[in-house]
Amino acid sequence: MSQAADPFTPAGAQHRLVDVPGGRIHLVEQGTGPLVLLVHGFPELWYSWRHQLPALAEAGYRAVAIDVRGYGRSSVPDAVEAYRIGAHVEDNVAVVRALGEETAVIVGHDWGSTIAADSALLRPDVFSAVGLLGVPYAPRGGMRPSDAFAMIGGDEEFYVRYFQEPGRAESEIEPDVRAWLTGFYATLSADTMPESGEAGVFFVPKGGKLSDRFVKDRPSWLSDDELDFCVGEFERTGFTGALNRYRSMDQDWEDLAEWDGAPITQPSLFVAGRLDASIAWLASAIEAFPTTLPGLVSSHLVEGCGHWVQQERPEEVNRLLTTWLRSLNA
């Protein structure tokens, strides 16, 4: 275990590499007490939880934020198949075991929310509770994802379908990682999103690029130095590993056939920004919570907040997380 390796690491936090079946997972941990595993989304890093690590540690928890496989200092397998949901669940279980624990609470944001939900679904023996940020739980069901995405958008292309074509998004992003990340973060942030709302960013104009609708301003929650850290990590790793999560969705659908429509019964939490377009196009998933999340403790929409909820409104999210965590032991 190494001490904090750079000025971006919260004081008192430590970096660590642990072995998992598919290679290694890099994590940053802080505090002692019950384990809380934090799983980021796209296009993020362990660093997305920089505000939560010290807050959870102070509240009496062992907070651990990972670089999901394909990101940061974790392994970046070549094969698309290496990014199917079961591999991520195995990673999370292996991290818990490597830390000498038997169980953990798991919390995820964006894609990390889906990974956290499926970790709780597939391994309820390990993950005793689940917190979902930004993206609600939607059980496996309906048609194959790629078929469903092909029906969305009319003359324009839904962003997931755009991301699923190997090499296509990389050719847009990687020539100028800083500009692309800035635009993607800003367009989904409450203080910089277009006046018409952020929904348009989910669709690619015919013959265009996803970034054609990005705004250019840097959001207020992200400093130049913080952006530098994120840009540096993605310039080193590229984006293929991160994008392969989108390219594995049909395989996930096949792998989860046994759990079609299955609820998550552990105690759960949902938090999203009121201005996050995900809660609009996934509204039916939220409405289904009484059936799909029967253990839901509380659900919150943070006013004036966009997609990056734990970074845009860290103090409020920290309060919601710690209140929920304490309720688990009440």
CA torsion 151-153-155-161 (nearest 10°) is: -70
Rg (CA), the chain: 18
Amino acid at 202: F
Catalytic residue at 109?
no
The one-character DSSP state at 129 is: E
Which residue among 67, 91, 110, 252 is the active-site one?
110
Nearest to 230 by CA among 239, 220, 240, 243: 239
The one-character DSSP state at 120 is: H
In sequence order, which ranges of the chain are alpha helices (DSSP H)? 52-58, 85-98, 111-122, 145-150, 159-164, 168-173, 177-187, 224-237, 240-243, 249-255, 278-281, 283-287, 289-292, 309-312, 314-328
**Per the structure block, which two tokens stand in for 72?**
């940061």
Catalytic residue at 307?
yes
**Per the structure block, which two tokens stand in for 314?**
């860290």
Residues labelled as active-site residues: 110, 307
